[in-house]
Structure 1
Amino acid sequence: EEMWTRFKDVSAVVNKRYQAFFEERKAKESENEQSKTALCELIENIDLSSLSNHTAWEDATKIILKAQEDWKKLGFASKKVNNQLFARFRKACDEFFAAKAQHFRSLRETQSENLVKKTVLCEKAEALKDSTDWKKTADEFVALQKQWKAIGAVDRKQSDAIWQRFQNAADYFFEQRKKNASLQRKSEQAALKVKQGIIEELKQLSLEATDRESSIARYRQLQSEWNKAGHVPFRDKERIYEAYRSEANRVFDALDMNRHKSGMANFVSGIEEMSDDKNRLFRERERIARALEQKRAEMKTYQNNLGFFNVKSSSGNSIMRDMERRMKRINDDVSSLEEKLRLIDSKLK
């Protein structure tokens, strides 16, 4: 009895220890099961569709690697679920790395295609960079830059080099355009100075009848110099042309009036010489009458055209003034011819 009691007491101690051990292991396995389930869910909940760039994939990869390290540190779960959890965890990891491999494989293919497209744009830019058709080529460069932005990225190892190649061509063209614009501004300022000088000389040109021939020669020379002077700054274009046109018309009209006076004096002298020859006077009258009809017909044509003319711009205004000036000259010619006819008629009476 004593021996039995001793044995029973010792057995009770062993059973308690046995029970405590397995209860502790079961609790640990349950804790491991929860931790491993959480790691599986962590990986499974990663939204692969949201990983659109290199940084996002690398951040997600760090999460996966950390989860694998944590998994290794965990003990077993219960036999019933341990293998299932491992298979689940491995499947989630494999799917992630397979998706990552596919993403970067597609990315490399896309980047390779983008490199080809950007190389083509570089070649186009390099073909344009020496063009001097500034406006058209600048528009083409802007279009190329828009295409470049729409293409997308290339491999980072080649990104800087291909961009620099494209940018160098664009920078070269726009720098040349800038230099040309600077030269053009200088040229326009020089032309403006020349044309201002021409206007001043027109103001000083002699309008005396005795200087008519030399003034006409200088007037024509100044016209030629004006046409050769080149473009002036756009903001001064209308003002300087109006000033020139006003002075040129004034000089021309004055010289033309002298011509009429000189011509009429010569005509009167000629008529006096042929006053005794009626046949010559009749022939001269017929010539003057035909010239008069021609001038009247020319005036009628201008008047008809003027009726259809609409002024909608400063250039249109200038054309209108030129037409009116020509009509005035024709009218002066008509008056002169009519005066000549009256003179001949007075001699025929």
Structure 2
Amino acid sequence: MSSDPWGRVDENGTVYVRTADGEKVAGSWQAGSPEEALAYFERKYEGLVVEIGLLERRVRTTDLSAKDANTAIGHIREQVDAGHAVGDLDALSQRLDKLAGLVQERQAERRASRARQSEETRQAKEALVAEAEQLAASDQWRTAGERLRALVDTWKGLPRLDRRTDDELWHRFSHARSAFSKRRKAHFAALDAQREEARRRKEKLIAEAEELSGSSDWGPTASRYRELMREWKAAGRAQREVEDELWARFRAAQDVFFAARGEVFAERDAEYRDNLSRKEELAAEAEKMLPVTDVRAARAALRSIGERWEAVGPVPRDARPAIEGRLRAVEQAVAEAEEAEWRRTNPEARARAAELTGRLEEVVNRLRGQIDTARAAGNNARADKLEKELAGRQALLDQARKSLEEFGG
């Protein structure tokens, strides 16, 4: 018979292991000495120790799932409970219990972590949905479109939620993108329609411009080209790929007309240079009358100059405003002199001025007599008051006499 602190072998070769609940049969040994039997079952115990140690390390240092960990613990626990080993089996059971508790703690931590991650993911996706729904109403087509594509990439990088929540959020997200896409397509379809209409209108303007390019009716045709230019601007832009070509054709037609007109006007201006010299002489002759002193003589001289002016004929277009302005200035001066002369010789106005002057003279003379009377009577206060009134009336009389003198009266 052989024994140690955790087991023994009886004379029949039965091996026992000591536990807190008493001895249990670990097995039997018939092939050797009792010492060899204990050593064999002790090695089986050490194997369990190693196996538990490895499992403890895996639970603490790897992402071993709770299901796999509990399965492994259960497998080892069956071996420990079976007692086919010699050693401190109660200590192994305690280690397994502690390890099972650790697995439960890790499992709870993972559930909490998954719950936090799910909540963070839900909030992130709700934020993406809210931004997408806001962008769906935007008219910044390029910027909003690029941002929506970036939101899709962000969405794809997030974990999935439970199917119901994830599907609901995705439906809102997808609906916002579709709404934006429909609005953008409608906008550009309308824009394309507008550009096509602009192209058709500009084609018509070009056709008219090309037809007018050979006209020699310079004034009306130039006026019509200005109208065509206003209509061109009002038509809006055509498609980008044809706008430049349309403008080049429209401009070329105008250039043909204005180049021809310029040549004709250049030839005509050369012929009109002599006329300009003669009109400059007439303008200088008219300017010598200034300032106007004899209205009748000035009007007669201006009439003669005007007749000769008309007989000279046209001058170059670029010189016309300046030379005509010189003559108009003299005509204005003569007209103002005539107006002043008329006012000065107007009989009715002279009569009114004479009548006013007479009335004021009577008032002034009467006031002077009243002042002398008051002074003689010793009423100085009344005399002082009358003198103040006399001063005002005298000023009016002086002004009336001046006006009457202007009429030669």
The alignment status of 1:164 with 2:168, answered yes or no, reads: no
The alignment status of 1:229 with 2:222, answered yes or no, reads: no
The alignment status of 1:123 with 2:123, answered yes or no, reads: no
Structure 1 residue 180 displacement after superposition? 2.4
Identity across aligned pairs (percent)?
A: 19
The alignment status of 1:24 with 2:57, answered yes or no, reads: no
Matching of residues 171-210 of structure 1 within 5 Å: 171-205=178-212, 207-209=214-216
Give the length in aligned residue pairs: 267
- Provide TM-score, normalisation by structure 1: 0.60
Structure 1 residue 236 displacement after superposition? 2.7
Query: What is the CA–CA distance in structure 2 between the aligned matches of 1:78 and 1:149, rounded to whole Å?
Result: 54
Q: State the secondary structure of the residue aligned to 1:215.
A: helix
Structure 1 residue 336 displacement after superposition? 6.0
Partner of 1:43: 55
Query: What is the CA–CA distance in structure 1 between the aligned matches of 2:68 and 2:116, rounded to whole Å?
Result: 27
Q: What is the aligned counterpart of 1:65 among 59, 62, 70?
A: 70
Structure 1 residue 132 displacement after superposition? 1.7
Structure 1 residue 257 displacement after superposition? 5.2
The alignment status of 1:279 with 2:286, answered yes or no, reads: no
Pick 1 or 2: higher relative contact order, CA cutoff 8 A, min separation 6: 1
Cα RMSD, aligned residues only = 4.2
Query: What is the CA–CA distance in structure 2 between the aligned matches of 1:198 and 1:50, rounded to whole Å?
Result: 80
Q: Is the 8 A contact 2:195 2:239 kept in 1?
A: yes
Query: What is the CA–CA distance in structure 1 between the aligned matches of 2:212 and 2:234, rounded to whole Å?
Result: 20
Partner of 1:254: 260
Query: What is the CA–CA distance in structure 1 between the aligned matches of 2:117 and 2:107, rounded to whole Å?
Result: 15
Structure 1 residue 39 displacement after superposition? 4.5
Structure 1 residue 260 displacement after superposition? 6.3
Q: State the secondary structure of the residue aligned to 1:80.
A: coil
- Greater per-residue helix proportion: 1
Instruction: Mark the runs of 5 or more structure 2 residues left unpaired by the alignment.
Output: 1-8, 16-26, 30-36, 288-315, 323-409
Query: What is the CA–CA distance in structure 1 between the aligned matches of 2:62 and 2:211, rounded to whole Å?
Result: 82
Aligned in 2, Cα 1:189/1:340: closer, same or farther, shift over 3 Å?
closer
Structure 1 residue 30 displacement after superposition? 4.7
Structure 1 residue 134 displacement after superposition? 1.0
Query: What is the CA–CA distance in structure 2 between the aligned matches of 1:165 and 1:144, rounded to whole Å?
Result: 13
Deviations 1:172-192 (A, max 9, x none): 212321332333234323323
Q: Which has the larger radius of gyration?
A: 2
Instruction: Mark the runs of 5 or more structure 1 residues left unpaired by the alignment.
Output: 1-15, 52-56, 285-334, 342-349
Query: What is the CA–CA distance in structure 2 between the aligned matches of 1:142 and 1:224, rounded to whole Å?
Result: 42
Aligned in 2, Cα 1:207/1:283: closer, same or farther, shift over 3 Å?
farther
Q: What is the aligned counterpart of 2:93 among 86, 93, 104?
A: 86
Query: What is the CA–CA distance in structure 2 between the aligned matches of 1:49 and 1:125, rounded to whole Å?
Result: 42
Partner of 2:391: none
- Greater per-residue strand proportion: 2
Structure 1 residue 143 displacement after superposition? 4.6
Q: State the secondary structure of the residue aligned to 1:207.
A: coil
Aligned in 2, Cα 1:279/1:43: closer, same or farther, shift over 3 Å?
same
Query: What is the CA–CA distance in structure 2 between the aligned matches of 1:159 and 1:99, rounded to whole Å?
Result: 27
Structure 1 residue 278 displacement after superposition? 4.1
Query: What is the CA–CA distance in structure 2 between the aligned matches of 1:104 and 1:149, rounded to whole Å?
Result: 23
Partner of 2:146: 139
Partner of 2:339: none
Matching residue's letter, 2:12: Q
Structure 1 residue 150 displacement after superposition? 6.0
The alignment status of 1:33 with 2:37, answered yes or no, reads: no
Deviations 1:180-228 (A, max 9, x none): 233323432332333233223211115333x334423432332222212
